[in-house]
């Protein structure tokens, strides 16, 4: 049923899928560019189209009544962003305990412009010993999908170069809000 809803939504909005369903059973899924509230409905539509069961991290405020239950049903995992809570270890543990999981992380951390990405997605993947799969929404072409799995080596610069190359031609709904694909550690 979800796949049918996804097909109808994407057809009505003029979007198409590109790429294959990710192969790994457990992985961190980068959600980028993240520049609009529309990114979540499109992410869900592509996940449903590809029959992926995703879990995504979102700020705890969106899990309050009256929509909290719906957000959890859609795969949402509330996180506190105001304090450090060993997020890397917590999320790595969630991945390690699952038979299959696609943990979606918006690497930019917000829909607004940021000069660099947050590195949590990378450290969670390294700690859980799982690959990183880049997903994308390219509003300029109305195409969304998934890229190849990238196994983080620990050489952040080399791994990020591969990720940068993947996102080089992808445009968010508001391209001016999509900052440079770079981690603070690289600067």
Full strand arrangement of the beta sheet holding 143-146: 16-18, 143-146, 132-138, 26-32, 101-105, 54-59, 76-79
Instruction: Map residue 149 onto helix, strand or coil.
Output: coil
Task: State pTM to two decimals.
Answer: 0.88
Output the pLDDT for position 26.
96
Could you read off the pLDDT of 102-148 as tens digits, one per residue?
999 988 878 888 888 888 899 999 999 999 999 999 999 999 999 99
User: pLDDT digit string (tens) for 44-74?
Assistant: 999 999 999 899 877 788 899 999 999 898 8
CA dihedral 56, 11, 179, 34 (to 10 degrees): -20
């Amino acid at each position: 049923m979800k796949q049918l809803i996804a097909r109808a939504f994407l057809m009505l909005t003029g979007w198409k899928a590109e790429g294959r369903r990710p192969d790994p059973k457990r992985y961190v899924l980068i959600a980028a560019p993240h520049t609009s509230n529309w990114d979540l409905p499109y992410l869900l539509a592509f996940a449903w189209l590809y029959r992926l069961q995703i879990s995504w991290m979102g700020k705890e405020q969106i899990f309050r009544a009256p929509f909290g239950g719906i957000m959890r049903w859609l795969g949402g995992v509330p996180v506190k962003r105001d304090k450090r809570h060993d997020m890397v270890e917590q999320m790595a543990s969630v991945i390690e305990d699952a038979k299959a999981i696609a943990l979606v992380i918006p690497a930019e951390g917000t829909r607004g412009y940021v000069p660099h990405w947050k590195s949590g997605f990378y450290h969670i993947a390294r700690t859980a010993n799982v690959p990183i799969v880049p997903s994308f929404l390219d509003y300029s072409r109305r195409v969304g999908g998934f890229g190849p799995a990238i196994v983080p080596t620990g050489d952040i610069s080399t791994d990020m170069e591969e990720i940068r190359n993947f996102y080089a031609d992808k445009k968010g709904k508001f391209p001016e809000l999509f900052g440079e694909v770079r981690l603070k550690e690289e600067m």
